Structure 1
Amino acid sequence: MEYIDYYKILGVDKNASAEDIKKAYRKLARKHHPDLNPNNPEASKLFQQINEANEVLSDPENRKKYDQYGKDWKHADQFEQARQQQRSSGSYGQGNPFGDSGNPFGSDYFTYEEGGDYSDFFSSIFGNRGGGRQTKFKGQDFRATVQLSLTEAAKTHQQTFTVNGKNIRITVPAGIENGQEIKLAGHGAPGMNGGPNGDLYITFEIQNNTAFTRKGNDLYTDVPLDLYKALLGGEELIDTLDGKVKMKVAPETQNGTKVRLKGKGFPVYKKEGTFGDLYVTYQLQIPTGLTAKEKELIEQLARERKTN
């Protein structure tokens, strides 16, 4: 397994605080986001590495494992499980030539040693030395974060990202929620002694790149409406996620009037062809820079209203 220096990727020292890591991640994520680097084929890979580094170093428990075991930090739980099992069976220190002294190999071994498969290595310590049954362990679960724009989340599409040096391609259904987590069974670390692979958990972060506000499957937007159209009525072109629609404006429409466009909201997750609604709130625009003639007509209208 190739060693990835997460500290180097984020450009921080190994003694960096959690706040330093957060600031470094946000700065790099903005700089290297694929949407901002469409002509750079390496941007997506680098962006995924930045996300992976943040996932590990921003979690105190994962960071502790990474600092102790380096490239093999994902197997820390299996190592501890195996060691505890050896202790409880009374054979710890007999079949293990390194004894009970914490991490017998030191962090340098786990960080830089190249060679055989990790599971083979553990089997040589805790495996079937005397013909006994080997304990199976499930592989470590992986976690990753995928960032999407709101317009991307509104359409079913293919998404490719990198986890632990492996490219994974998934289909993202339209309507995914911000913060929603999905599980890809068996895409985590390999199991030990014939145990099942771990799972991959993906969390989606949705960044709003539109003028809409999303609430569930409904969208909300404010639309400016000029005074004359509000008084006399007419038509207004309204922006939606899939283009503009023409909507009638009733005469004497008041400021703050809210109208609903049914089925013009956000797609419902895993319900193809089903959408929420779009709510439009009219914001009345008072004309400025009136000419003398316009002022005279408005004064005439005001006098007319007083007499009625």
Structure 2
Amino acid sequence: MAEKRDYYEVLGLQKGASEDEIKKAFRKKARENHPDLHPDDPSYVEKFQEINEAHEVLSDPEKRARYDQFGHAGVDPSYGGGAGGADGMGGFGGFADMDDILGSIFGGFGFGGGSKRSSANAPRRGSDIQETVTINFMDACRGKKHDLRVNRMCVCDSCKGSGAEAGSTPDICPDCQGRGSVKTTQRTPFGAISSSKPCPHCGGKGKIIKNPCSKCRGVGRVRVQKTVSIDIPAGIDDGQTLRIGGQGDCGINGGPNGDLLVGINVKSHPIFKREGYDIHCDIPVTYMEAVLGAEITVPTIDGDVKYTISEGTQTGTIFRLKGKGVQRLHRTDRGNQYVKIYVEVPKNLTKKQKDLLKQFEASLSEKNYAKRQSFFEKLRSKLDL
């Protein structure tokens, strides 16, 4: 017999967890590991049963007390000794049947409208599909329409989802009567222990297809490639995800479709950098423009604009263009654009140019260099201490 895991470990809890913590952990684990969400992986049936079993013991004060004292032997006779007889144990009743759990915690998630699932053929929601789209910087700022080719599961148009060849129908499994699972009950010193497992005859489907559809091979769904037109909203940012409702895999047994999740990658821009909804850029100006002031051309995502820098503008000066940033997602207002000035020092001067600069420099005094004057005053003050 395979060694059972500790029930607290199964639910991700510490020993001594409160009833509320047990309840929350159970619901979270049950949602993540329900077999209906992983139809192609049969291991989730065992995982789900393990979660169910752990919950049934830890949520019952009497069973939990025996488990805390004797371990698995206190609640499972196959582990030998343990606590004395407890006729009222009743196995893993209440939530032991996966149908009960389905109705209890998945009622609002497209698994039968909140009541207990009565059949393995009940409607189930289709899986979500994940895709990635790469767009340029300007498209992210302005928004765009994008056609995306996706591979998704659709109802087989040959058998209309029944899985049976045209002209035939599936038969109800005689072993489980269409439930998809069979129960066994064992009398023990601790009471009657019930367990549920997938029907071995129909593989948990609740039906037998004697003449499977040649197109889908009895699955009832086929994978096809379709084009989905999506609206990428203005203001979308790199790393965000769009959810397109109903464009995922089709549901099972008439259940709702899953969603299409589109991850957005935004290419970098050679001039602009984005921070939230604000845009930043650096603008070079000439030495004379910085000294005398000038009207310069500033690029924005809406086109070029004119801006007048003042006389004596220094490298590192930042000015703001209000409302010239990115439109806020699903809104009409926008961020700002921040422009940083850096003064480009001329290179490769001729001798004549150098002489002229020296003459110009000689005509200046300390009052023309406020920062330099302030620096040396601070330095002298420091040395005098």
TM-score, L = length of structure 1: 0.56
Structure 1 segment 199-210 matched on structure 2, within 5 A: 199-210=259-270
Match of 1:138 in 2: 125
AA paired with 1:296?
Answer: D
CA pair 162-296 structure 1, distance change in 2 beyond 3 A: same
The match for 1:84 among 36, 41, 45 is 45
Where does residue 102 of structure 1 map in the other structure? none
Query: What is the Cα deviation at residue 182 of structure 1?
Result: 1.6
Cα-to-partner distance string for 1:97-132 (whole Å, 9 max, x where unaligned): xxxxxxxxxxxxxxxxxxxxxxxxxxxxxxxxxx95
Superposed, which structure 2 residues align to 1:10-25 within 5 Å? none
Label 1:235 to 1:307 Cα distance change in 2 as closer, same or farther (>3 A): closer
Match of 1:191 in 2: 251
Aligned to 1:289: 348
For 1:220, the equivalent position in structure 2 comes to 280
Q: 2:360 aligns with which of 288, 298, 301?
A: 301
Partner in structure 2 of residue 155 of structure 1: 142
**1:145·1:204 contact (CA, 8 Å) conserved in 2?**
yes
Distance 2:269 2:281 in 1: 13
2:314 to 246, 250, 254: 254
Q: 1:170 aligns with which of 230, 236, 244?
A: 230
Structure 1 unpaired stretches of 5+: 1-74, 89-130
Quote how far apart the aligned CAs of 1:285 are.
Answer: 0.8
Change over 3 Å in CA distance of 1:158–1:307 after alignment to 2: closer
- Distance across 1 between alignment mates of 2:361 and 2:294: 23
1:99-114 map, 5 Å: none
% identity of equivalent residues: 32
Instruction: Work out whether residues 162 and 168 of structure 1, in 8 Å CA contact, stay in contact via their aligned partners in 2.
Output: yes
Q: Contact between 2:38 and 2:44, CA under 8 Å: does it hold in 1?
A: no
TM-score, length of structure 2 as denominator length: 0.46
Whether contact under 8 Å (1:218, 1:277) holds in the other structure is yes
Report if the CA contact (8 A) 2:126-2:248 is conserved. yes
- Runs of 5+ unmatched residues, structure 2: 1-35, 50-117, 152-224, 368-385
Correspondence for 2:13: none
Closer, same or farther in 2 for the Cα pair 1:155/1:307, shift >3 Å?
closer
Match in the other structure for 1:278: 337
Cα-to-partner distance string for 1:209-255 (whole Å, 9 max, x where unaligned): 34111111111111111111101111111111121111001000011
- Bigger CA drift: 161-170 or 75-84? 75-84
Runs of 4+ in 1 over 6 A off after TM superposition: none
Larger Rg: 2
Partner of residue 300, structure 2 = 240
Q: In structure 2, what is the Cα distance between the partners aligned to 1:279 and 1:306? A: 33
Secondary structure at the counterpart of residue 305 of structure 1? coil
Across the aligned residues of Structure 1 and Structure 2, the Cα RMSD in angstroms comes to 2.6
Aligned letter for 2:324?
A: K
The CA distance in 2 between the partners of 1:194 and 1:170, in whole Å, is: 25
Task: Give the SS at the match of 2:142.
Answer: coil
Aligned-partner Cα distance in 2 for 1:196–1:307 = 78
